[in-house]
Amino acid sequence: MKKCLAKLISLSAAAAVFAFAAALCSCGDARGIHSSAKDLPQKFTREEDKIIDFAAGKTEGFYASHGYSNRQMFNCEWSRNNAVVQNGVMSMSVTEAEGGTQSGYDYYGAEYRSVEYFSYGFYSVCMKAADCPGVISSMFTYTGRPWDEIDIEILGKDMTEVQFNYYTNGNGGHEYLYKLPFDASEDFHEYAFDWQEDRITWYVDGTAIYRATEDIPSHPQQFMANVWNCIGHDGWSGKFDENALPATAQYKWFAYRAA
């Protein structure tokens, strides 16, 4: 039952992401800290906020997707074998699928998700992005139906940029592309968003970068992350370079602090 539900949610996510793809070109050039976030206090993850901590072997309540694809712009099939925990970190990879996958893809990707749905609060992750054009490294929350979603995505075309975005009842168009002061594939950094009833504020290493205050999502969402190769939207993701595979993003922990 859980697998069937996860498959249904992931397939509906694919349709939703495909609908949003037409607006990707509106992201524009990467910018600095938005005026909406200027002078906001720093906010960091506390040790007690960590609900997943791979170094401590704390993984209860999350699982890796397996055996299906989101289709549309996702050019891979999810495999639990591509989400490997070793030496205190989880490595999620896009790899070639020798002989093809059961869904007919040439690549495997990885996705990790919570069983539980969470509401307003502070969400954060410690991650290092995959350095490969066309491969997306993410942390996000997602409902399924109705479609609410809050995103942090590092796009494979440039390791010095991160995109923030959200959807409310399927309505998007809220992308904000931030120019990072570092290469996201070289080291671990803390990425976060604080979701409240009237606002969402995104953070990088504790510093507030962007705040949204209109049409804020309201439905509880699964806590998720995935690493996947994009097809058909090279201007957004970069042209996929299979010669750079395996492409691996690493995660140390996921954290949540209720509002």
Q: Tens digit of pLDDT for each residue in 106-131?
A: 999 999 999 999 999 999 999 999 99
CA distance 27 to 174: 9
Question: What is the model's pLDDT at position 144?
Answer: 87
**Range of lowest pLDDT (4-8, 20-24, 89-93):** 4-8
**What is the pTM (predicted TM-score) of this model?**
0.91
Q: Tens digit of pLDDT for each residue in 9-27?
A: 444 444 444 444 444 544 6
Point out the catalytic residue in the list 77, 111, 153, 175.
153
Question: What is the model's pLDDT at position 13?
Answer: 46
* Among 248, 234, 222, 244, residue whose Cα is nearest residue 65: 222
Question: What is the model's pLDDT at position 27?
Answer: 61
Q: Is the pLDDT of residue 75 over 80?
A: yes
**DSSP category for residue 122:** E
Point out the catalytic residue in the list 77, 111, 149, 190.
149
Is residue 214 annotated as part of the catalytic site, yes or no? no
Is residue 60 annotated as part of the catalytic site, yes or no? no
Q: What is the mean pLDDT of the chain?
A: 92
Q: Are 188 and 250 in contact (CB under 8 A)?
A: yes
Q: Which helix (H) or strand (E) holds 249?
A: strand 247-258
Query: Where do the domains of the chain lie, and which CATH numbers do they carry?
Result: 2-258 (2.60.120.200)
- Tell me the mean pLDDT in the region 192-210: 98
Question: What is the model's pLDDT at position 28?
Answer: 74
Query: Residue 53: how many CB atoms within 10 A of its CB?
Result: 16
Which alpha helices (H) appear in the chain, and where do they start and end? 2-21, 234-237
Distances (CA, A) of 16 to 20, 55, 74, 180: 6, 34, 12, 27
